[in-house]
Amino acid sequence: MLEVLISIAIFSIGLLSLLALQLRGMHEMHAAKQTLQKHMQGYTLVEMMISIALSMLIIFGVYEAYTTAAQHYRYTQGQLYVQENVQMATHILQHEISMAGYAGCRTMQAGWFQYSVAKPVLQRYTPTTVSAASKDVAKHILQETEAIQVGHLSADQATLSHAITVKTDHITVTGALAFHTDQQLIIADCQQAQQITVLHDAPHISQQHWLTISPALTHYSAGAQIGSWETVLFYIGDTGRKTVAGDTIPALYVHRETGRDEELVENVHNVLVEYLANEHAVKLHLLFSTSDPVFAVPQSVQFAGKTLHPPDRRFYAAWTMIIPLINRVK
């Protein structure tokens, strides 16, 4: 009987243990199922809306920072580009215009040069008179722009070998300047200057020539300068090129008597000329721009006392310079 009771007790204990393990397993499975369901539920609509709003704010902030940095970069690069063009243009114009009327060490007086030499010293062409500058050039000059013509003794010169004390139409000159029949020249010393025409050139020795000229000369000191009268015309023309946005690219040009036109500085839109008689100087107003768009919308610019409204989005800058006439007409 005791053995039976012991067996029943052991069986009961085993059964209870088995039931306990089963209940524990069922509890763990239920807990795992709840965890899985919780994960499978995802975010609520409110959570999604908040996440999207925060993401949009971050993207918008990054985009604004990039746009601002890119525009600042374009603006800075545009300023540097315009400054370089300003330096090139002012250097060229300063050199040429300050030399207006140069004829050796001769200081010209009012009326002398126009009537005795009959060569232009300094001439301003407005939009209504620019066609008189040059028929070949006028068609290339942009409307509403001005041009300026400068005349001076060429840098390529020869010198009078011997002083002239009596009237003669034969002179000896020294220098690398090339001579030819019917060539128009200027001879000038510190006392006088006049125009002469070469009738015949007889090369003598290295860089020395015997010239027959007209009219005959009377009094000139040895070392008098002899050279051609150089006339150059500065104007604004169309390069024929376009920007990436399809806008016209103008430039500062120079036209020489040889008929050659040379582009000097691009993206120069206008030049206005003033002659300051009291100061014996020339005042130039120049308008520059970049090649590529810089701003999101077109910007106005002050130029020669007026407000301009360019239709494109380029960066524009006005520049004013005063050039003293070293060889001024007194």
Residues 216-227, mean pLDDT to the nearest whole number: 90
With bands split at pLDDT 50, 70 and 90, how would you rate the model's confidence at 309? very high
Is 288 strand, coil or helix?
strand
* AA letter at 110: A
Looking only at the bridges linking them, the beta strands covering 147-160 and 168-174 are antiparallel
Q: Is the pLDDT of residue 328 over 60?
A: no
With bands split at pLDDT 50, 70 and 90, how would you rate the model's confidence at 234? very high
User: What pLDDT, on the 0 to 100 scale, is given for residue 322?
Assistant: 93
User: What pLDDT, on the 0 to 100 scale, is given for residue 44?
Assistant: 73
User: What pLDDT, on the 0 to 100 scale, is given for residue 84?
Assistant: 95
CB 210 within 8 A of CB 198: no
Q: Is the pLDDT of residue 239 over 60?
A: yes
Q: Is the pLDDT of residue 52 over 60?
A: yes
**Residue 119's Cα: distance from chain center in Å?**
32
User: Higher confidence at residue 109 or residue 232?
Assistant: 232
User: Measured between alpha carbons, how far is 108 from 121 in angstroms, rounded to an integer?
Assistant: 11
CB 104 within 8 A of CB 330: no
> What digits encode the pLDDT tens for the residues 200-220?
998 777 788 999 999 999 889
User: Measured between alpha carbons, how far is 201 from 177 in angstroms, rounded to an integer?
Assistant: 12
Residues 221-250, mean pLDDT to the nearest whole number: 90
> What digits encode the pLDDT tens for the residues 80-112?
999 999 999 999 999 888 888 777 765 444 333
Please choose, from the candidates 235, 170, 226, the residue with its C-alpha nearest in 3D space to the C-alpha of residue 202.
170
Q: Is the pLDDT of residue 277 over 80?
A: no
> What digits encode the pLDDT tens for the residues 127-178?
777 666 566 666 678 888 898 888 888 878 899 999 999 999 999 999 888 8
With bands split at pLDDT 50, 70 and 90, how would you rate the model's confidence at 21? low
CB 147 within 8 A of CB 125: yes
* AA letter at 223: G
> Can you point out the beta strands (E) in 45-165?
122-125, 147-160
**Residue 160's Cα: distance from chain center in Å?**
43
Q: Could you give the strand order of the β-sheet that contains 281-289, starting from the edge strand earlier in sequence?
A: 268-276, 281-289, 316-324
Min mean pLDDT across 147-151, 250-254, 262-266 is at 147-151
Residues 55-81, mean pLDDT to the nearest whole number: 84
Min mean pLDDT across 99-103, 119-123, 319-323 is at 119-123
With bands split at pLDDT 50, 70 and 90, how would you rate the model's confidence at 251? very high
Contacts of 50 by beta carbon, 8 Å cutoff, 6+ apart: none
Cis peptide leading into residue 215 (ω within 30°): yes
User: What pLDDT, on the 0 to 100 scale, is given for residue 317?
Assistant: 95
User: Measured between alpha carbons, how far is 193 from 224 in angstroms, rounded to an integer?
Assistant: 9
CB 87 within 8 A of CB 288: no
